[in-house]
Amino acid sequence: MKREEIIMLCTADLAGQVRGKGFPASDLEARLRKGIGWTPTNSMITAHGPIAPTPWGPYGDTVLTPDPASRVRVDFGPDAAASHFIMGDIMNLDGTPWSVCPRSFLKRMLHELETRHGLRLKAAFEHEFLLEGMEERPNSSYALDSFRRQGQFAETYLGALREAGLEIDTFMPEYGPMQYEVTVGPADDERSADHAVAVREIARAVAQHFGHRASFTPILRPDAVGNGVHVHFGLLDAETGAPVNHDPSAPNAVSAKAASFLSGILALMPAITAVTAASTISYLRLTPDRWSAAYSNLGERDREAGLRICPVFPGAGVDISKQFHFEFRAADAAASPYMVLGALVAAGLHGLDEAMEAPQVCRQPPQHLTESERQALGIVRLPQSLDAALDLFEGEPALRPLFGEELVSAYVAHKRFEAGLMKDLSPEEQCAKYRQAY
C-alpha cells in the first residue's frame, strides 16, 4: 500500500513539549508560505496533560509559520516512518509575532541584543538523558561497558544528528543510572535552540526505533543524579562576527561587554530559574554538593557554579579568543530551549543596559562561605521550589518589560497550575510523572 509521508510543523511550548500539526510532505512548499492554524489555548497544555486556566478559552486564532532552516528529517528505512519535523513561530493573523510564542520571544531578545548593543549570541546546549531499557549497574559511570551495552543506539543517533545538519562533539555514558550525555557544536542565535530541540527529539525517535525510550526528565528519582542542560554561550560582534568575550588585560580575562552580560545573568538568576528549571522536581537537582548549580555564583573550572568561565585548551590549536566562552548550569529539559536562551539574553541585556561592573569569581563552594562572605560576592541561594522561583520571576521588575506582560502572565499561570498538580504527590511520585512526560 502506498504511504504518504507526514511532516510535523511544531513549537516547543511553555511546557517544553514539542507539539504541532502534521501535513503531507507533498504540501511542503505551500505550507512554507501559508503555515498552519494554531489555537492560543494550546500553549496552556501542561506537560502532564491537563490545561492550565487559560486567558483565551476557546477564542482566538494564530498561525504556526515554519522556518525551513530548522527542518529535520531522519530516515529509518523503508519499513519505518521517517521522523520529519520543522520548527515554527506562532504568529498573529496579521503576520506579527504572537507575544506568548517562545521562539518569537527568543528572536525578539536577540534583536534587542543586536540593536541596543551591536552583539549577537553563539550557543550550544549540552544534554544529559536516560536511555531506558538499560540495566542499572554499579560502577558504570563513563565505562566502556556502559558504552558497549547501548548497542547501535549511539551510532544511529549520531548519524541522525549529522544527517540533520548538527555538528557532533561527544557522546558518553554519564555518572547517573542509565545516563548518557551528548554535546553538539555551537550555532548562532535561535539556531542553537532549534538544535537543542533536534537533539532531544532525534534521541527519542532513535530510542523508539530500537524499542527503548529516551527520557530527558530533570531527575530520575530524588536520590539520583539529575539530567542537566548546560548552555554554553559567547557574544559576537554583530557586524564582523568576531568573538568579544576575551580580554587578557581584564579581570579573569573577561571583556567589559561580556562582564556586564554575565553580571546581569547573575543578578537575575534566582528569578529566571523559574524559566530555566521549569518543573517541580528541577529543584531536587539544584542542591549543593551534587555537581549542580545551587547558587548565583560565577565560577572558574567549577562544575557546581551557576555560571562558569569555561577552560581553554591551548592544545586545540585554536585562537584563545575563539575558544573562550561561558556556561550556564541551572537549566534542564523541562524548559523550552527558546525560553531558556531568551531568559539568558534578557538577563544579559539588563546587565548591559545598566553597564554593570564585572562580577567576582567565587574561588570555593558557596556553601562553604559564611553568609557575609556570600553577600560580599553578591551570591544568593537559588530558589528551592518552583513556587518560590515563580514568586521571584513574577515580582522582578527588570524582567517584565523584556518578557512582556502577556508572556509573564501566561507562563506564571501555566507553571503555578502545574505545581498544583504535583503538590499532593511524594517526590518519588513526581519523578515518575516527569519521567513519562519528558
The CATH number of the domain holding residue 10 is 3.10.20.70
Question: Which pLDDT score is estimated for 313?
Answer: 80
Cell numbers given for 20? 504541532
Q: Please name which of 274, 271, 280, 308 lies closest in space to residue 292, comparing C-alpha atoms.
A: 308
Say which DSSP state 165 is in.
Answer: T
- The answer to whether 229 and 331 have CB atoms below 8 angstroms apart is yes
Whether 30 and 115 share a structural domain: no
The pLDDT of residue 88: 97
Helix (H) or strand (E) holding 129: strand 119-132
Kindly state whether residue 187 falls inside one of the protein's structural domains. Answer: yes
Residue 371 makes CB contacts below 8 A (sequence gap 6+) with none
- Within a domain: 87: yes
Total of domains in the chain: 2
Same-domain status, 210 and 324: yes
Question: Is the domain of 12 the same as that of 109?
Answer: no
Both 199 and 172 in one domain: the answer is yes
Does residue 278 fall inside a structural domain?
yes
Same domain, 244 and 294: yes
Alpha helices, H only, 135-293: 144-149, 153-163, 191-209, 256-276, 282-285
Domain boundary among 57, 76, 97: 97
pLDDT at res. 317? 63
Kindly state whether residues 333 and 388 are assigned to the same domain: yes
Both 128 and 190 in one domain: the answer is: yes
Residue 127 lies in a domain: yes
Query: Are residues 294 and 422 both part of a single domain?
Result: yes
Same domain, 326 and 300: yes
Domain residues for 182? Answer: 105-437
In a domain, 1, yes or no: no
Q: How many CA atoms lie within 13 A of 224 on its CB side?
A: 26
Q: Report the relative pairing of strands 119-132 and 179-184 from DSSP bridges.
A: antiparallel
Buried b (16+ CB within 10 A) or exposed e, 313-336: eeeeeeeebebbbbbbbbbbbbbb
Let me know how many helices (H) and strands (E) the chain has, helices first. 14, 15
Say what the pLDDT of residue 316 is: 62
On whether residue 379 sits in a domain, the answer given is yes
Angle made by CA atoms 216, 330, 205, in degrees to the nearest 5: 15
Residue 119's pLDDT is what?
98
Question: Can you give the three-state secondary structure of 16-30, one letter per residue?
Answer: CCEEEEEEEHHHHHH
Report if residue 169 sits inside a domain. Answer: yes
pLDDT, residue 356, reads: 97
Residue where a domain stops, chosen among 70, 97, 124:
97
Measure the CA–CA gap between 312 and 323, rounded to whole angstroms.
6
Is 245 part of any domain?
A: yes
Greatest alpha-carbon pair distance for the chain in Å reads 73
Domain boundary among the residues 62, 97, 132 is at 97
* pLDDT of res. 79: 85
Verify that 345 and 258 share a domain, yes or no: yes
Cell of 404: 512582556
Expressed in angstroms, the distance from the first to the final Cα of the chain is: 34
The 3-state DSSP composition of the chain as helix, strand, coil percent (nearest 5) reads: 40, 20, 40
Q: Is 277 found in the same domain as 322? A: yes
Q: What is the CATH number of the domain that holds 124?
A: 3.30.590.10
The predicted pLDDT at position 94 comes to: 96
Ranges of residues in the chain with a pLDDT under 70 are 315-317
Q: How many CA atoms lie within 13 A of 105 on its CB side?
A: 32
Q: Are 132 and 72 members of one domain?
A: no
